[in-house]
Structure 1
Amino acid sequence: MDVIAVEPQQLRTFVTVARLGSFSEAARELGYTQSAVSQQIAALEADLGTALLHRRPVGPTGAGARLLEHASALLLRIDAARADIARLAGAASARLTVGATPLAVGVELGRALAEVRRAYPVVDLTVRVVAQDALPAEVAAGTVDLALVDGPAAPSDPLPLPDVGPLATAAVAEQPLAVALPTGHPLAGRPGLALADLSAAHWLDAPGLAPTAARLRAATAVDGFRPAARYLGTDVRGLLALVAAGHGLALLPAAAVAGAPGVAAVPVGAPRLVHRTELVHGALPEGPAALLARLLTAEGADRV
């Protein structure tokens, strides 16, 4: 299948039709006429030499399903290339959009943004809280100018991030990690805990805030860490309320647990892990985004 010859707009149209299961709904979403959508799909099928969509009902053929597996990565790379060239060729924008994971929005970011606003009083500032897995792609595509991501890592090791384009990363902070558990838990008074010893415990699956079971298994090389309940919010107080009520444990930066009612924070003794925050960005022309990056990484040099 020669996907190199595929036109990006045809591919976007195909993905939209397959997602909505309707040519007319895809036309409405994309702002085309239905005949224009049909023509794009027909041209794409002609280029690739095979049918990609069943018409009644609308759905991907076997070849269409395979193309869908490639489509997201192809379109992301195209968007990333456009955004990267625009950053290199363009002047600094008067707008600044910062992406951050829930636990990365903290005092350091607030202080740095205050400095940016003093230097650029009319900057149009937006801070978007986004799940970590989505943030690198948003930076690559130019949806956000730069982002703060976080997660567990060995001391001084970079975070594992998806390869979505030519992005740079820099350390901003490293903090101690702790297991959050109810104050009445038998292990609450321990000076430290080995995560591997907790593989059979009840854990809370909170992908927006805490490491997933898969990441815990990878960090400890031990099977287990089966979630007892899911928390799909981004408010750490809500997660800690579930911990206090005995619904499961969570691995969080110790500072996020401190002072939470009914919750004890027990340091992680093994493996050696920290809660690491990193800055992710593409090319940054001089302006608000570049200044913010310098401020965050300058502070980070003192905290890593």
Structure 2
Amino acid sequence: MDPHLLRTFVAVARLSSFSAAARELGYTQSAVSQHIAALEADLRTELLTRRPVAPTPAGARLLEHAGPLLLRLDAARADVLRLAAAPPGRITLAASPLAVGPRLLAALPATGVTLRVMPPDAVPAAVAAGDCDLGLVDGPAAPSDPLRLPDVAPLRVTGVGEEELAVLLPAGHPFAGRGAVRLDDLADARWLDAPDVGLPLTAARRALRYEGTDLRALCALAAAGHGLVLLPRRVAEAAGAGVCVPLAAPRLVHRTELLAPATLSGAAAALAARLAAGSPYDS
């Protein structure tokens, strides 16, 4: 299966338009149509309906495979280029918002680093594809257990920190005076839906949805009663709003992991070593 044809198919399916895909990819509309026809001929099935433009059942199934396949190809290309290239003078570090903590701040050199803050789900792909040299990603986990990360490419994963979790409540909440709280006690509570920064709770009832990475705004929403939020205790306590109550059960921690490609040298290797130095959580 030709990856160029697959990329064209993904673009057409995402944009629901042959002409829009042609503009995005820099092709003529005729070339895009030829790509789709060639891919359909190769697979011997129709992948897209034409009016409207939408994936057929076979096309929808191909889309499920296309993202991981194309990302693997990008990761392989980036890995080979790292071997061929001289050690870069600058480092690009991807980090999820809650991974920007004391360890990272202490390890960063004064110059030579670009820090890109992005949603946790985007960090592994950014490192695998070579868009970033290193990544820091976070999430809830049982103590000493690794995070469940997408299998985007062979990456070296090192646990670099675990912290206590807490729930941020509005001041008038019935549990605001407790010394600790169990998630079971909050089974009927509504939680802020913050996919780019909040820690996920799969069975939680959702209230307001917050699409952003500003932790102060997230904490202000929780303090104002728009929904509860689960955060590292240091973040909840530093919010300056609402009431921070430690999580007693289930036994979870906020875990941060360092993601690095298999081939690492120069300034990126030095920064990775500083981030991992002294960590008891290597995985």
TM over 0.5: yes
What corresponds to 2:89 in structure 1?
94
The offset of 1:23, in angstroms, is: 2.2
Alignment partner of 1:210: what SS?
A: coil
Q: 1:211 aligns with which of 191, 199, 217?
A: 199
Is 1:7 matched with 2:2?
yes
**Structure 1's 169 and 302: CA in aligned 2 closer, same or farther, altered over 3 A?**
closer
- Distance across 2 between alignment mates of 1:257 and 1:288: 33
- Distance across 2 between alignment mates of 1:91 and 1:126: 18
What corresponds to 1:38 in structure 2?
33
What corresponds to 1:297 in structure 2?
276
- 1:121-200 to structure 2, matched below 5 A, reads 123=112, 125-200=113-188
Unpaired segments of 5 or more residues in structure 1? 1-5, 118-122, 218-224
- Equivalenced residue count is 283
Alignment partner of 2:164: what SS?
A: strand
Is 1:231 matched with 2:226?
no
Q: Which amino acid aligns with 2:275?
A: L
What corresponds to 1:78 in structure 2?
73
What corresponds to 1:271 in structure 2?
250
CA contact (8 A) 1:180 1:252 kept: yes
- Distance across 2 between alignment mates of 1:22 and 1:57: 9
CA contact (8 A) 1:88 1:283 kept: no
- Distance across 1 between alignment mates of 2:50 and 2:180: 61
The offset of 1:278, in angstroms, is: 0.8
Note the aligned Cα RMSD (angstroms).
2.1
103-112 vs 245-254, which deviates more? 103-112
Alignment partner of 2:42: what SS?
A: helix
- Distance across 1 between alignment mates of 2:180 and 2:195: 24
CA contact (8 A) 1:102 1:130 kept: yes
The offset of 1:299, in angstroms, is: 4.6
- Distance across 2 between alignment mates of 1:267 and 1:303: 25
Query: C-alpha deviations, 1:87-144, integer Å up to 9, x for none?
Result: 34433222311100111123322332226x4xxxxx4x32111111121122111111
State, as a whole percentage, how many aligned pairs show the same letter.
61
Alignment partner of 1:151: what SS?
A: strand
Q: 1:113 aligns with which of 69, 90, 108?
A: 108
The offset of 1:209, in angstroms, is: 2.1
CA contact (8 A) 1:150 1:276 kept: yes
Unpaired segments of 5 or more residues in structure 2? none
Question: With structure 1 as the length reference, what TM-score do the two structures score?
Answer: 0.86
What corresponds to 1:47 in structure 2?
42
Query: C-alpha deviations, 1:271-292, integer Å up to 9, x for none?
Result: 2111111101112332111111
